Chain A
Amino acid sequence: MQSLKNTFSSLWQTLFGHPVRAFGAVSLLFLISLAIAPAKNYFSEWRHYQNRYLALVRGRGDAVTLQRHFHEHDGIQQIWLPTLGVVDRCTTCHAGLKEASLADVGTQPFRQHPVIPHTLDQFGCVMCHRGQGPATTVEEAHRSTAAWEQPILPARYVQSSCGQCHRAPLTGTPQLNLGRNLLGRYGCVHCHTIKLPDGSAIKPTDVPPSLSHVADKSTREWVYAWLKDPQAYAVTATMPNFKLSDPDARDISAFLIANSTPIAGDTAPVAPGAKNQKPPDPTAGASLYGESFCASCHAVQNAAGNVVGGDVGPELTRVGSKVKPEWLRAWLRNPRVYDSQTLMPHYRLTDPQVSLLTAFLGNKTDSDLLANVHLDAATPEQVAHGKLLVTEYGCASCHEISGIKKPDNFAPELTRIGSKPLTQIIFLPGMTHAIPDYIAAKIREPRSFGSALKMPQFSLAPAQVDALTTALLSLTDRAHDLPLALTVPSKPPSNYQPAGKAGQLMADLTCFSCHAINGRGSDMAPDLTWEGSSVQRPWLQAFLKNPGTLRPALIRRMPRFNLSDDDAKELTDYIMAVYQTPAFDRDSMPSSGYPPAQVEQGKQLFYSKYACQSCHIVDTKVDKGYVGPTLTQVGSRLTAAWIYHWLKDPQAMRPGAIEPNRNMNDEDARALTAFLMTQKGSNKQEAKK
């Protein structure tokens, strides 16, 4: 100890004992510490990565080319796009992004960028990946620091960045498209306003039923069970679980039933005499359900637990436990009486058919669902408390409830949620402090952020959570502040309305629930915008009366609406007159009388050159194509002019058609048209007629 002290003091004396020596020693110390700066500068991270890149490239066959590319721009690389506010130096370390020959290199940061529709020089890196573009160190560029809140976007949400500019769905971004659909489908936008850069707002696409007349339709017990756990009634239900306590669910159900007002004609009690009728054939109901293609829109959970059917209408697995038979009967007769806005078409069912379906659906019950629900008669206090709860939980944001106003901005606006400052967010303990994690956690389990929060629990699959997160992440400041010229807008929503009596008929049959016309409607069934140029009048009229299948492989089909002759004619007239393409005249080519040689040539082309039989069927005995529609009767279904123009360019006739454009020459197209126009249907069917 003493010797250490002596050594130290003698060292001190040597270095600082004399002012000149002290000056020299201090100067030396300063010089050394000053030298650290240029040294750090020289041994910087990016230089290290550039050296590693050169070492990687050296051993390769195309080393000379790669080295030349690298040395064309020495030092720090930069993509500078003033209009987008992009200064990206990522390519300083990620040196091989543009080198196609580095496809086999798997180590970052030297991997080649996957092929995308944009070039790096056009958009830079942070537009899609976020992170800090100007940074030249790994930590600063990728992670969030005290002065930079936007770390790199996890790869699984990267599609959100496409959505900053592209408002319309892209084929390359299925996750983003799904997320945007879900925002509407799960009714997120009922409570959360989401304004788009063009000034419009995202509209909900779910149709929450009005609760003003719910007592006509359901029992209080069912309402109670539904409120407690919607997914126990129907696994596909989009209604979220509000995690209500028993008394709260009791009071809300009491209020809703007490608040309900009857609608004249929305119930149809069974006539007393009808009870004596012999029970219908047990399979008749099921076959009518099948023939009417109810499953195109409604799903049912089968014994294996799989949900089978469409998702346009509600799931019907336990519908017998929900609706009252007298309401169901009236609904099936004409749904428009109870709900004028319903997507359900007005089937013209006969009374026996209505009874048959009512009985069939009434049997779809679940005894467990209501087994433990025992509610005493509601007291006025319960009703009053129920009303309070309904207001508090914002039920009227989604459902129409008479006497309760739809609240405005019930939940926080999400217009710029993708750029929400982290300082405004309260994270859960242990959570990564980043926007994607926050959004995903909030969607996955909203009440984990506080049991008093109102946002209910949605039942979403992990993929759906990711999709929703992706869609929300695309709502950034940049998306809103981009120059309009750089955005790719979506098509404005169409509010096309067909006119006249045919228009009323189409509304009654809810054609737009499945078909699209002039940009309005669903994509479940073919677009009918040019239908008048496409089909022949006799076929259309017969089809509307009794739709046959065109694509045998599909489960969904146009249902039979039991239209009267007048109605079918009215619709046919309207379609033939109005839905015509301006591109050609539908009568410009004859429907028959083609020379046999041309027909024969068309047949050769059909089977050999273009191999149409891989997707279509002309001869039911030999052809096996199930992708496209069956063409055995195409000669009496389609017009020759349509076939000809379709063959020349299918996508021009119907955007998004999956038939490939074969760049057919005129002669081939005419020969194939001639051949197809001879396919007028089998003799057997004609004999039957």
Chain B
Amino acid sequence: MAKTITDYFEELRGTRVWRSVFRSGTGSSTLHRALAVQQNVFLHLFSTKVRTRMLSFSTTWYLGTLTFGTLLILVGTGIPLMFYYHPSVPQAYADTKDLQFVVSSGLFLRNLHRWSAHAMVFLVFAHMFKVFYRGAYRPPREFNWVIGVILLLITLLLSYTGYLLPWDQLAFWAITVGSNIASAVPVMGNKVHFLMLGGNVVNANALLRFYVLHCMILPLVAILFVAIHFWRIRKDGGLYAHQSEPTTVAAESVPAAAKGGQFQ
């Protein structure tokens, strides 16, 4: 019998190199599968076992995953954009123009970054609505809802700080207006305004601050909270299933090959 791709893969998993990297051994028993997830630094955030119906589209509309996908795209496009961008007053606008006109696929990079950012804000909101209306915020998931709200704020802040970076009229006035709103805070409004901009008007300091926030601090904080968010899903008992929802999904909608070690 000719070897299938699965056989080759099993062979690969048995090699010493593979075993040195991934500590779970060969085999496709439930234990092995559970270990593969549990012993991986990234995957251990997730539940080791997921109900198949939780993976169906109608349950979550994949909104959380899509949001995370846009975040990955934003990081992926943002890093190349950083190679071409100087956060300085004389250079910033010229750099965005260079991205538009001279850098290979620079306009694509920028547009992808921009549209993904818009999509992420939209998806975060959609995700929260879905969670809210399904009642998935209720105990024991109330803490993860709070984390979600923090992630919403981080998303909005990322969007806002990124808006200044092209350093055009639109950016300048949007940030001027936005920061003036902050100065309307009672008592300490002007201090907040000054702290935000590094001065009293939008200028070189504001550009630098927004750049550092946009490219360093906010993404790191976002990743930290995303990690907690994912981890809490597992800790809170997996994705939320409504009491009235059927515990099994219709047999025909479950792919045959995926039936192996699934809990239903």
Contact = CB atoms under 8 A, between A and B. Distances in A.
Given A18-B255, A19-B255, A19-B258, A37 B98 contact: no
A453 B105 CA distance: 51
Contacts of A168: none
Of the listed residues B100, B101, B170, B258, the one surrounded by the most CB atoms of chain A closer than 10 A to its CB is B101
A136 B105 contact: no
A135 interface: yes
A147 B255 contact: no
Contacts of A38: 104-105
Contacts of A87: 94
B97 interface: yes
A37 B105 contact: yes
A424 interface: no
A315 B35 CA distance: 106
Nearest to A36: B108
B97 A134 contact: yes
B108 A40 contact: yes
Nearest to B108: A37
A135 B235 CA distance: 54
A137 B108 contact: no
Given A19-B258, A89-B101, A147 B108 contact: no
A41 B102 contact: no
B10 interface: no
A642 B234 CA distance: 106
B168 interface: yes
A137 B169 CA distance: 22
Contacts of A103: none
Contacts of A40: 105, 108
Interface string A120-138: 0000000000000011110
B166 to A, nearest CB: 9
A37 B107 CA distance: 9
A140 interface: yes
A136 B102 contact: yes
A615 interface: no
A135 B97 contact: yes
A76 B104 contact: no
Contacts of A37: 105, 108
A45 to B, nearest CB: 10
B164 to A, nearest CB: 15
Interface in A14-71: 18-20, 36-38, 40-41
A87 B170 CA distance: 22
B168 to A, nearest CB: 6
Given A18-B255, A19-B258, A41 B105 contact: yes
Nearest to A132: B97
A89 B97 CA distance: 12
Interface in A440-487: none
A137 B101 CA distance: 8
Contacts of A136: 101-102
A76 B101 CA distance: 10
Contact of A134 (B94, B104, B257): B94
B105 A134 contact: no
Contacts of A137: 101
A76 B102 contact: yes
Contacts of A76: 102
Contacts of A20: 257
Contacts, number: 34
Interface string A92-136: 000000000000000000000000000000000000000000111
Given A18-B255, A19-B255, A134-B94, A140 B105 contact: no
Nearest to B111: A37
Contacts of A19: 255, 258
Given A37-B108, A40-B108, A147-B168, A134 B101 contact: yes
A83 to B, nearest CB: 13
Nearest to B90: A85
A10 to B, nearest CB: 16
A140 B107 CA distance: 13
Contacts of B170: 147
Contacts of B108: 36-37, 40-41
Contacts of A36: 108
A294 to B, nearest CB: 58
B95 to A, nearest CB: 10
B262 to A, nearest CB: 13
B102 A89 contact: yes
B101 A41 contact: no
A37 B100 CA distance: 12
Nearest to A17: B255
A494 B169 CA distance: 44
Interface string B62-105: 00000000000000000000000000000000100110111011
A40 B98 CA distance: 16
A518 to B, nearest CB: 46
A437 B184 CA distance: 42
Nearest to A19: B255
Contacts of A147: 168-170
Interface string B234-264: 0000000000000000000001011000000
Interface in A625-666: none
A134 B98 contact: yes
Nearest to B106: A41
A319 B100 CA distance: 66
Nearest to A89: B101
A205 to B, nearest CB: 39
A14 to B, nearest CB: 15
Of the listed residues A19, A36, A37, A135, the one surrounded by the most CB atoms of chain B closer than 10 A to its CB is A37
A374 to B, nearest CB: 59
Contacts of B105: 37-38, 40-41
Nearest to A21: B255
A18 B257 CA distance: 10
Contacts of B257: 20
Interface in A654-689: none
B46 to A, nearest CB: 18
Nearest to B97: A134
Contacts of A135: 97, 100-101
Nearest to B258: A19
Contacts of B258: 19
B123 to A, nearest CB: 17
Nearest to B170: A147
B89 to A, nearest CB: 13
Contacts of A41: 104-105, 108
Contacts of B169: 147
Given A89-B102, A137-B101, 8 more contacts: A18-B255, A19-B258, A37-B108, A87-B94, A89-B101, A136-B101, A136-B102, A147-B169
Top 8 closest pairs, chain A to chain B, by CB: A37-B108, A136-B101, A37-B105, A134-B97, A41-B105, A41-B104, A135-B101, A134-B101
11 contacts: A37-B105, A37-B108, A40-B105, A76-B102, A87-B94, A89-B102, A134-B98, A135-B97, A136-B101, A140-B100, A147-B169
Interface of A: 18-20, 36-38, 40-41, 76, 87, 89, 134-137, 140, 147
